[in-house]
A and B are shown apart, each in its own frame.
Chain A
Amino acid sequence: MFKKLEMHIKKVLLFPILCMFFLGYGQEKTNMKLIKGGYFVPLYGNDSLVTKVSDFYLDTYLVTQADYLNFVKQNDKYAKDKIIKLFADANYLQKWESNLNPGAEINLKAPVTNVSWYAAKEYCATQGKRLPTIYEWEYAAMASETAKNAQRDSLFNHKIIASYEKPKTYKKSVGSTYKNYWGVYDMHGLVWEWTSDFNAVMISGESRKDKDTDKDLFCGSASVNASNLMDYAAFMRYAFRGSIKANYCIQNLGFRCASSK
């Protein structure tokens, strides 16, 4: 009798231990990839030129329309008609037919777009994740298919720029571009992505009023100070971040989540 109970307890205990073992040593979370941290020179960093990024996990794919539909089903505050004004502008899920029906026009495998920063943040939080920081995102995105850091790879940079020029890439399915060094898909080529601290890029309508040296970022002279002359694409990303607000819902702006290690 006791032996049986003991066996049972052992079985019950063994399962979580095994789980922990696999999680701990597998170094891979479901649908996320480990990004090994390191030092890099972001286009636009802090006082010291080199910035450190710690190890973190990043979603393998962008959050899709189907993923987002599931989220809305469970969090009806984030339905198209119900989200409050503070958290999203009028373009929130603009192309969806109704609250729980994206409609036939929407490719469910495409990245969800027309979502605000608040909504993206909440989506990640419900998964026990968060949005990546600008540094984290840029660090992961500088990897090409074969190299951790392709900032100096002119061919890679050229590809990114070319992808910015293609229209309506937000309609494509996730995974349809390239898989980078870390195993993460579509860092460039489908949509722009929200970051947790996107509003750390300091340009305002009236940048002279900002207490900051960053005001020069987008003037001609700024390119001289830029850490990496090759990366014109990064200029575009930073300029974009600096021009948006957290309640904006934009057709070619999606997101993926991250979590700390």
Chain B
Amino acid sequence: MKNKHIFILFTFVLLLFTACENNTTTSDVLYQCPMKCEGDKTYSKQENCPVCNMKLMPLKDKEEKVLEDPNYISDASIFNLTSSWKTQNNKEITLKDLKGEILVVCMIYTTCQAACPRLVADMRNIYGKVPHENINFVLVSIDPENDTPEKLKAFAKENELEDEFWTLLTSNEDNVRELSNVLSVKYKKINPLDFSHSNIITVFNPQGELYFQQEGLGVDNSDLIKKIKELK
């Protein structure tokens, strides 16, 4: 009697087990390392990542969704931010208005003497090395108090950032803080005219998902350019 019970239990467990197995192998869900150790490589089973040993996460079928719905914005897209901005031409926009183009973004302020001119030079350097179609080079001011659209316009002129591929943005302290957090840029006002800030250039794909970041001034930008070309 007891044996029978055990037998039933055993088969039940076995069934459960095989049912699970079936589930994972027959489903079409693909798995990927959350850290993307191997780039976009996917697996059909939920194993551990061979590089970092983290559990692979199921991939959402976002590719399909993009095709289905032109207004689709993924979870990780900066177009989820609803903040409103003013351009150097005093045009009011939200970040979503920049959708569809590769964005190359950095944060600056126009009265900056030290790092910003070099950061802008880096941006122009990148600008000079890639074909411009479908790219938007975006400079965001961290000094909303001083950097009015007029100031940005003048700054663009001074630095020869005048064609349609450059967008300069200003908003308010709150919105700038939020965007700086999305870009992992740290900044701090140290006196009425000066900020310290990290020097990071960020590349977003046309869906607004962070694709690549370059840290530092005057660094070798060949990786960043390679990444932009990948997106094209």
Contacts and interface: CB of A to CB of B under 8 A. Distances in A.
Nearest to B194: A47
Interface string B185-220: 111111100101111000000000000000111000
A84 interface: yes
B115 A86 contact: no
B159 interface: no
A108 interface: no
A261 interface: no
Interface residues of A, dominant DSSP: loop
Given A46-B191, A84-B75, A209-B217, A245 B199 contact: no
Interface stretch (A53-61, A156-164, A177-185, A199-207): A199-207
Given A86-B77, A197-B177, A209 B187 contact: no
Contact of B78 (A86, A210, A213): A86
A204 B215 contact: yes
A212 interface: yes
Contact of B80 (A84, A200, A206): A84
Interface string A201-232: 11010100111111000000000000000000
A85 B62 CA distance: 14
B217 A196 contact: no
Contacts, number: 84
Q: B interface, how many residues as a size bin?
A: 20 to 34
Contact of A209 (B78, B189, B196, B198): B198
A121 interface: yes
B215 A206 contact: yes
A216 to B, nearest CB: 12
B225 interface: no
B191 A202 contact: no
Interface residues of A, number: 30
B181 interface: yes
A132 to B, nearest CB: 13
Contacts of B196: 202, 210-214
B199 A210 contact: yes
A246 interface: yes
A202 B216 contact: no
A51 B167 CA distance: 35
A44 B76 CA distance: 33
B186 A201 contact: yes
Interface in B60-81: 74-78, 80-81
Nearest to A202: B186
A117 interface: yes
A87 B80 CA distance: 9
B177 A204 contact: no
A199 B34 CA distance: 25
A257 to B, nearest CB: 14
Contacts of A130: 174
B180 interface: yes
A202 B198 contact: yes
B198 A210 contact: yes
Contacts of A247: 181
Contacts of A118: 178, 181
Contacts of A200: 186-189
Enumerate the 8 nearest inter-chain pairs by beta-carbon distance, A residue then B residue, closest first: A246-B181, A200-B188, A85-B75, A211-B115, A212-B196, A209-B216, A47-B191, A84-B75
10 contacts: A84-B76, A85-B75, A130-B174, A196-B174, A197-B188, A199-B186, A202-B188, A204-B198, A209-B199, A211-B217
Given A84-B75, A200-B186, A211-B199, 15 more contacts: A47-B191, A86-B80, A87-B80, A130-B174, A196-B174, A196-B177, A197-B177, A199-B185, A201-B186, A202-B186, A204-B186, A209-B215, A211-B198, A245-B184, A246-B178
Interface of B: 34, 74-78, 80-81, 114-115, 174, 177-178, 180-182, 184-191, 194, 196-199, 215-217
Interface of A: 46-48, 84-87, 90, 117-118, 121, 130, 196-197, 199-202, 204, 206, 209-214, 242, 245-247
